[in-house]
Amino acid sequence: MCSDISVDEFKPRPDVALNALYEPLRHTLERSSACLEWELQLPWIDAIQRLKQHRRALILAHTYQAPEIFHGVADITGDSLALAQAAASAEAELIVLCGVYFMAETAKILAPGKRVLIADALAGCSLADAISAEDVRQLRRQHPGVPVVSYVNTSAAVKAESDACCTSANAVQVVESMGTQRVIFVPDRYLGSHVAAHTEVELILWPGSCEVHERFTARQVREARRQPDTRVLAHPECRPEVLQEADFVGSTHAMAQWLARERPAEVALITECAMSDNLRAQFPEVRFASTCQLCPHMKRITLPGIHHCLLSLEHEVKLDEAVSAAARRALQAMLKVGRPTRP
């Protein structure tokens, strides 16, 4: 399976000396969570670090990855847009994506000459599953001449049918870059209605949703505001009535930026749980109210899984050339718009 490498050399080594070597990381992880599993995690973190160096690999991790991955082994962390930008400019020949499958596909489309691996090829996304390429073709037939903007949380085949992709960080700007009065926006109806409220462009929406964010209720958000100075930040994949209760709505990156700017005494992040865990380490003076939902797909990525894929080079993303080239045009239209300076 891994004839090019000595498996024994890169096995996790339970070694007391590791504690001293990784002392700063232990401090970071202690701030981010109870860190009860440190003793179990450390040998894996160390083995992945050694293997990563040996393979000259670049590890990209989404903000929803667990702290031991986000702080422990990733080279670059961020929201979907940051990971796409990092893949497009990566120099490493081997990229390991810690996130869900559409993110790994996006990296492969933008870095076609590189080898892109994902630690668990079954890490899916309810939004990416909500629409097919044929659905997009059907929408185009129903609305001739209307351009299609697809959220990056889609398959490569759907991207290939789109004029441009967007993330939650630049959806309004990408929609407006089409220069038309109407735009077909797929597949997230909640992000779509949030965008529609911030632009003059008329949006034709699709009934997709994120199974994680749609679980939040307005009542939960009101309960999370337990102190007068608690600030509520929500991801635009939440329902409109939830977003109405929030002080700020933005992508995961925008929420982190807001926190860095405003430094509230207490914050409730209405999004995936790992986001609070990871930011707790960055902002120790801010209290984080525990209102969050787990994304089961993001949580398929584990330290042993990352170690295995680096060792075996399994779970490589492979795409049809024509689909990849068409999807690249849509992703490049998104990268051209880039990240708005202030959300």
- Give the nearer residue to ligand SF4 in terms of CB position, either 52 or 62: 62
Minimum CB separation from ligand 13P for residue 42, in Å? 28
Per CB under 6 A, does 272 bind ligand SF4?
Answer: yes
Q: Which stretch binds ligand SF4 (CB under 6 A): 159-167, 172-180, 196-204, 206-214?
A: 206-214
Residue 68 interacting entry, from ligand 13P, ligand SF4, none, C-beta within 5 to 8 Å by type: none
237, 188 contact by CB (below 8 A): yes
Residues in 153-172 at the binding interface with ligand SF4, rule: CB under 6 A: 153
Of 11-50, binders to ligand 13P (CB under 6 A) are none
List the one residue out of 250, 248, 298, 258 whose CA is nearest residue 282. 258
Instruction: Determine the size of the site formed for ligand 13P (CB under 6 A).
Output: 11
The residues, ordered by sequence, that sit 6+ positions from 74 with a Cβ below 8 Å of its Cβ are 59, 60, 61, 65, 98
By CB under 6 A, tell whether 293 contacts ligand 13P: no
Q: Which is nearer to ligand SF4, 62 or 231 (CB)?
A: 62
In the block, tokens 């990855």 appear at 65
CA distances from 95 to 9, 194, 241 (A): 21, 33, 39
- How near is the Cβ of 255 to ligand 13P at its closest, in Å? 8
Buried b (16+ CB within 10 A) or exposed e, 68-86: bbbbbbbeebbbbbbbbbb
Q: Which long-range contacts (CB under 8 A, 24 or more apart) does 316-321 make?
A: 316/115, 316/116, 316/117, 317/97, 317/101, 317/104, 317/105, 317/107, 317/108, 317/116, 317/117, 317/118, 318/108, 319/105, 319/108, 319/109, 319/156, 320/156
Q: Which is nearer to ligand 13P, 33 or 168 (CB)?
A: 168
**Least distance from ligand 13P to the Cβ atom of residue 271, Å:** 7
If one asks whether residue 211 binds ligand SF4 (CB under 6 A), the answer comes out as yes
Least separation in angstroms between CB 280 and ligand 13P: 18
Does 252 engage in binding with ligand SF4 (CB under 6 A)?
no
Q: Is 80 in the site for ligand 13P (CB under 6 A)?
A: yes
Task: Let me know: does 45 contact 11? Beta carbons within 8 Å.
Answer: no
- Using CB under 6 A as the binding rule, whether residue 251 contacts ligand 13P is answered as yes
Residues in binding contact with ligand SF4, number by CB under 6 A: 14
Q: Which of 22, 59, 77, 79 binds ligand 13P (CB under 6 A)?
A: 79
Tell me phi and psi for residue 227, to 5 degrees.
-115, 155
Listed ranges 12-20, 119-127, 259-267, 299-307: which one lies at the site for ligand SF4 (CB under 6 A): 119-127
CA dist., res. 125 & res. 129, Å (int): 6
Q: Can you tell me the distance from the alpha carbon of 149 to that of 181, in angstroms, rounded to the nearest whole number?
A: 13
- 168 binding partner (options ligand SF4, ligand 13P, none; Cβ < 5 to 8 Å by kind): ligand 13P
Q: Which two tokens stand for residue 282?
A: 């960055």
127 interacts with ligand SF4 by CB under 6 A: yes
Asked if 73 and 303 count as a contact pair (C-beta separation under 8 A), the reply is: yes
Given a contact cutoff of 8 angstroms between Cβ atoms, the answer to whether 274 and 257 are in contact is no
Residue 41: CB minimum distance to ligand 13P, A: 24
List 184, 195, 295, 333, residue binding ligand SF4 (CB under 6 A): 295
- Residue 251 binds which entry of ligand 13P, ligand SF4, none, CB below 5-8 Å type-dependent: ligand 13P
Q: Which of 171, 69, 62 is nearest to 106 (CA)?
A: 62
- Among 211, 226, 333, which Cα is nearest to 289's? 226
Interface with ligand SF4 (CB under 6 A): 100, 125-127, 153, 210-213, 237, 272, 295, 297-298
Interface with ligand 13P (CB under 6 A): 63, 79-80, 153, 167-168, 210, 235, 237, 251-252
